[in-house]
Amino acid sequence: MHPKELVTSTFRQRFGKEPAFVALAPGRVNILGEHVDFNDGFVLPAAIDRATYIAFAPANSERSTLVAADFGEQASFTLASIPTKTNADGAPLAEWAYYPAGVAWALTEADLEVRAIDAVFASNVPQGSGLSSSASIEMAFAVAWQTLSAVEGSAVEGSAVDGAGWVLPPMQRALLGQKAENKYVGVNCGIMDQFASACGVSDKLLLLDCRSLEWQTLPVPEDVAIVIADTSVRRKLTDGEYNKRRQACEDAVKILSQHLPNVRALRDVSVDDFNRLSNQLPGVVEKRARHVVEEIERSRRAIPLLEQGKIREFGQIMNECHTSLRDLYEVSIPELNVMVEIAQSLPGCHGARLTGAGFGGCTANLVEKSVAEAFAAELARQYEAKTGLKPEIYICKASDGARLV
Ligand code: ADP
Ligand code: MG
């Protein structure tokens, strides 16, 4: 069943009423600019046409009741129980409930009203494969609570309701979602995931400057499809590896800034300066930082190519990105490399690379639309023959961001 129908029918069954609203928030795929967000670089994601859907209405008490329809589980919290990560009855919150509860917490911290909600949510964004199922849940609930803030009349006695409510621009909702994930859930993510889910634009890539948070759209040529290939390898406990890489980038900044006083982040180091000073850096630090410096330079080169519709040349830069993630940043695994190598050998494929954090998850491919189905079938066939694993392949469309439907 499509998640939109699932949330609507589950809502009726569970709450014995019609949902007042349905909202969705998409997952995202990053096309270029990997592992550069915390180095103040540029990222180039798109929201995709797979999303978390939420059916909701104001609750009749102070208690919010949330149903995760994909899990058949329920959580129930109040504004008082949220800070202790517990349900209203004192039992610990399920981990999935941290994402919506975290959004409620971040909204409250920002002095925005959080109405008690009856909600059912479900998603066709695969979990933990680098397409940001977590951010899509956060952005769906942010839209839901914004919507409820403006609903006339309150179920909670005595609360003042003027029907005006609060409205946040999508980027502000994204920042609150990131705060929820950083401070409440406890995951040290950058802004890209929530940004793409909140700010997505149909048929466009999104170019975000992670330092200034300025962003613009770039066109995806009409005859090009975004194909996502899930290796079906789930990333394991890799926090330690990410932290080591972040640390290496910080170490590089510390050393390079002794020679280049204006360097605050690797964003501020040109490739020429890096080459000149790279012998000052310990071997592993040099490799990690080189990936970041060159990846930021690649994204600068890529922007005019997209503007001019030069998709072949752009795809070549995606291929270079994969090589760098594999050999310099070292976040690839054999299954990702196999998926990328097969893709790059198939007709109609402009570019292929691992996407997201690495160590499992998905590859992103730009493919001629007219051969996308054949590409997907052949990629799946060859990948399974080589690895014995059954991949999922999604032919996607760049889509609008979180909204009521
Ligand atoms: P991703 O790369 O997909 O964002 P994360 O580890 O950040 O991976 O988030 C995955 C977590 O989000 C899951 O473990 C679960 O707690 C929550 N989640 C994702 N999708 C759903 C869903 N459909 N229903 C309930 N919880 C979900
Ligand atoms: Mg996530």
Q: What was the pLDDT predicted at 65? A: 98
Helices (H), 308-391: 311-327, 334-345, 372-387
Mean pLDDT of 240-256: 94
Distance 244 CA to ligand 1 centre (A): 24
Rounded distance between C-alpha atoms, residue 392 and residue 198, angstroms: 25
pLDDT beyond 90 at 2: yes
Domains, the chain: 3-218 (3.30.230.10)
Mean pLDDT of 323-332: 98
pLDDT beyond 70 at 197: yes
Q: Tell me, what amino acid is at 382?
A: Q
Place of tokens 């800034």: 257
pLDDT beyond 80 at 359: yes
Q: What was the pLDDT predicted at 160? A: 45
Of 37, 49, 118, 193, the active-site residue reads 193
Q: Based on the residue annotation, tell me whether 193 is a catalytic residue of this protein.
A: yes
pTM greater than 0.75 (yes/no):
yes
More confident residue, 28 or 159: 28
pLDDT band at 164 (very low <50, low <70, confident <90, very high): confident
Nearest residue (CA) to ligand 1, atom 23: 123
> Nearest 5 degrees, angle CA 361-CA 380-CA 194?
30
Mean pLDDT of 23-46: 97
Percent of the chain with pLDDT over 70: 97
pLDDT beyond 80 at 163: no
Residues whose beta carbon lies within 6 Å of some atom of ligand 1? 68, 70-71, 95-96, 99, 122-123, 127-128, 130-134, 137
Which among 96, 188, 354, 359 is the best mutation to test ligand 1's pocket, defined by most ligand atoms within 8 Å of the CB? 96
Rounded distance between C-alpha atoms, residue 17 and residue 186, angstroms: 35
Mean pLDDT of 262-283: 97
Tokens linked to 258: 């002794």
Distance 397 CA to ligand 1 centre (A): 21
pLDDT beyond 70 at 159: no
Q: Decide if 243 contacts 259 (C-beta within 8 A).
A: no
Query: How much of the chain is in helix, strand and coil states, percent to nearest 5?
Result: 45, 20, 35
Distance 134 CA to ligand 1 centre (A): 5
Tokens linked to 259: 């020679």
> Which residues are placed with Cβ below 5 angstroms of ligand 2, an ion?
134
